Structure 1
Amino acid sequence: MPLATKAAAFDAPVIGSVQRFDAELDLILAPDARIEVIASGYRWTEGPVWVRDGGYLLFSDVPANVIHRWQPGKGAAPFLQPSGLAGPIPAAIREAGSNGLAIDAQGRLVMADSGTRAIARVDLTTKRKTILADRYQGSRFNSCNDVVIARSGAIYFTDPPYGLAEGDASPLKEMKANGVYLLETDGRVVQLDASLTRPNGIGLSPDERTLYVAQSDEERPVLLAYALDAKGLPVESRVLSDFRREVDAKLPGLPDGMKVGKSGHLFASGPGGIHILAPDRRRLGLISTGKAAANCAFGEDGRTLFLTSSDMVARVRLKLSGW
Structure 2
Amino acid sequence: MRRLLLTLPLLCAPLLAAGQTVGADQAGEAAWLQQQTTLNTGKPAPGSLLVQSENGPTAGAQNNGSLSLNPLSGGTVSSTSLQYGITPNVSAQVGVTQRSWVTQPRIVGTQVGATYSAGRYSLGLSVAQDQVPNSTPLPRVLPGAVTGVNGLSDFDSSTQVNASGRFAFNNNSGVLLGASMGRIRLLPGNLMGLSTLDQKALSFGIDHGPITGSIIGRTMQPEPGLPSSFLTDRRWNSIDLGVTWHLPWQGSLSFGAQNLWSSGNATNTPVGPPEPDQSRTPYVQYHQDL
* Greater C-alpha Rg: 2
- State the TM-score, normalized to the length of structure 2: 0.30
